[in-house]
Amino acid sequence: MEIIDGKLLAAKVRKALKSEVQELKDIGITPNLAVILVGEDKASQIYIKNKSKACLEIGIDYEEFLLDVDTTMEQLLELIDKLNEREDIHGILLQSPMPKHLNIDKAFERISPKKDVDGFNPVNVGKLCLNQDGFVSCTPAGIMKMFENYNINIEGKNAVVLGRSNIVGKPMSLCLLNRDATVTICHSKTQNLVEITKNADIIVVALGKPRFLTKDMVKEGAVVIDVGINRLETGIVGDVDFENVKEIASYITPVPGGVGPMTIAMLMQNVVKAAKKASEISETNFTILSK
Ligand code: NAP
């Protein structure tokens, strides 16, 4: 059994990005991420602090927009429009969850697909569905990077994704499908769950249920990826009963130190990609204009 070290791999990714950012700065481009947080959700505050720390380390500029809990949809869309227009902003991230009176889908839809570094805009979701280049949701992208780095073969494997959320479960399933896995997606209405998970070569668990996946649900030698972050009084635990499942898994991710750091590293990667793409566009425009 091997424990997949997300912390170490994320540090490697960030190091490589730091030199890419320096190269961009040398030609006058500083990648810049705008983060919008509405309200005072405690977990979100921790997440955005970690994102700002990562930006600082890599050399990405970071602007935070902290909006009142009673911000209206019109005010939120107006801010997104302004950020879409600003040429010095390359990525826009809207931290979820948002207060219930706001329509998060409408807000994600408003973010320019070119600045949608979270990959939640329907254009980027559609591109993922069509296996075209776009921005991929950061958690699934980070998990794919783990597979690549640990030489875990996906092609032809039975992959089971527990959870069908728009931010993790669905894009994860598409990423695996695009890499030729045979994918089963499970959710709260799934019947005979154990039969399905027992047959899986790869299991990705994204439920938000502490230690849900137990040893008796896992086939010997399976690859187990734990996306869950559950804050208990005793500390943070994942959706996998790590101590017992690790006895039969071939690879397993810990919580913390597994998927979480990779999610942030992939966000950074997407911001750098957005900045590069924006510079390509302006160079093309420049060439056309100067002809
Ligand atoms: P979510 O939107 O709440 O979705 C949970 C999914 O689990 C739903 O699809 C739900 O099914 C399914 N589910 C619930 N109970 C189930 C059961 N008994 N059997 C099978 N499926 C069941 O959650 P999310 O946003 O995807 O997040 C999942 C977890 O990952 C959370 O702990 C979250 O904090 C964590 N997370 C971590 C990262 C990271 O970077 N590590 C990033 C994002 C999220 P229905 O659709 O039928 O309701």
- What φ, ψ does residue 188 adopt, rounded to 5°? -70, -15
Q: What is the mean pLDDT of residues 214-240?
A: 97
Task: Quote the Cα angle for 234-235-236, to 5°.
Answer: 140
Instruction: Give the pocket of ligand 1 (CB within 6 Å).
Output: 139, 162-165, 167-169, 186-190, 193, 206-209, 227-230, 259-260, 263
pLDDT at 264 over 90: yes
Q: Is 118 a catalytic residue?
A: yes
Closest CA to 20 of 281, 279, 194: 279
Closest residue CA from atom 35 of ligand 1: 228
Q: What is the mean pLDDT of residues 143-165?
A: 98
Q: Is 51 a catalytic residue?
A: yes
pLDDT at 257 over 70: yes
pLDDT at 150 over 80: yes
Closest residue CA from atom 4 of ligand 1: 165
- CB 209, CB 231: distance < 8 Å: no
Task: Quote the Cα angle for 229-232-237, to 5°.
Answer: 40
Closest CA to 224 of 244, 241, 202: 202
Q: Is 133 a catalytic residue?
A: no
Residue 197 to residues 147, 160, 172, 186, 243, Cα–Cα distance (Å): 19, 7, 16, 9, 18
pLDDT at 230 over 80: yes
- CB 138, CB 146: distance < 8 Å: no
pLDDT at 291 over 50: no
Task: Return the best residue to mutate from 172, 188, 236 for the ligand 1 pocket (most ligand atoms within 8 A of CB).
Answer: 188
Give 290: exposed, middle or buried? Use CB within 10 Å, 0-12, 13-18, 19+: exposed
Ligand 1 atom at shortest distance from the alpha carbon of 239: 32
Query: Residues 118, 201, 226, 239: which is the catalytic one?
Result: 118
pLDDT digits (tens, 9 = 90+) for 64-89: 999 999 999 999 999 999 999 999 99
Tokens 């979820």 sit at which residue? 96
Closest residue CA from atom 15 of ligand 1: 188
pLDDT digits (tens, 9 = 90+) for 268-287: 999 999 999 998 855 555 44
Closest residue CA from atom 13 of ligand 1: 188
